[in-house]
Structure 1
Amino acid sequence: MAATEEHTVLPAPDFDKPVKVLIVVSPYYSDIAAGLLRGAKAALEGAGASYDVVEMPGALEIPTAIGISDRRSNFDGYVALGCVIRGETTHYETVCNDSSRALQMLGLQGLCIGNGILTVENKQQADVRADPDGQNKGGGAALAALHLIALTRKWTSTPTGIGFKPSGEDTVMAGDLDGNTTA
Structure 2
Amino acid sequence: MASHETHCTLPLPTFDKPVKLLIVVAPYYRAVADQMIVGARATAAACGAEVEVIEVPGALEVPTAIAIAERQSNFDGYVALGCVIRGETTHYDTVCNDSSRAISLLGLQGACIGNGILTVENMDQAEVRANPDKQNKGGGAAAAALHLIALSRRWSSARKGIGFRASEDSFRA
TM-score, structure 1 normalization: 0.90
Q: Distance in 2 between matches of 1:125 and 1:27?
A: 17
The RMSD of aligned alpha carbons is 1.4
- 2:171 matches 1:175: yes
Cross-structure match for 1:17: 17
**Percent of aligned pairs sharing the same letter:** 66
- The answer for the alignment partner of 2:36 in structure 1 is 36
TM-superposed deviation, 1:165: 4.5
Q: Residue 56 and residue 165 in structure 1: after superposition, are their counterparts in 2 closer, same or farther (change >3 A)?
A: farther
Unaligned runs of 5+ in 1: 178-183
- Cα pair distance change 1:65/1:134, threshold 3 Å: same
- The within-5 A match list for 1:1-183 is 1-157=1-157, 159-160=160-161, 162-165=162-165, 172=168, 174-176=170-172
- What is the SS of the residue equivalent to 2:17? coil
Distance 1:133 1:173, change over 3 A: farther
Q: Indicate the structure with greater helix content.
A: 2
Deviations along 1:116-160, one digit per CA (max 9) or x if unpaired, are 000000000000000000000000000000000001111112522
Q: How many residues align?
A: 172
Which amino acid is the alignment partner of residue 172 of structure 1?
E
What does residue 180 of structure 1 align with? none
- Residue 41 of structure 1 aligns to which amino acid in structure 2? R
Q: Distance in 1 between matches of 2:12 and 2:64?
A: 27
SS in 1 for 2:171: coil
Task: Give the unaligned 5+ runs of structure 2.
Answer: none
Change (3 A) 1:110 1:173: farther
Moved more, 1-10 or 49-58: 1-10
Q: Distance in 1 between matches of 2:172 and 2:13?
A: 46
AA aligned to 2:110 is G
Take 1:173 and 1:146, find their aligned partners in 2: how far apart are those partners?
A: 45
| Partners of 1:20 and 1:49 within 8 A in 2 | yes
In the TM superposition, structure 1's runs of 4+ consecutive aligned residues that sit over 4 Å from their partners are none
User: Rg larger in 1 or in 2?
Assistant: 1
Aligned residues of 1:27 and 1:55 also touching (Cα < 8 A): yes
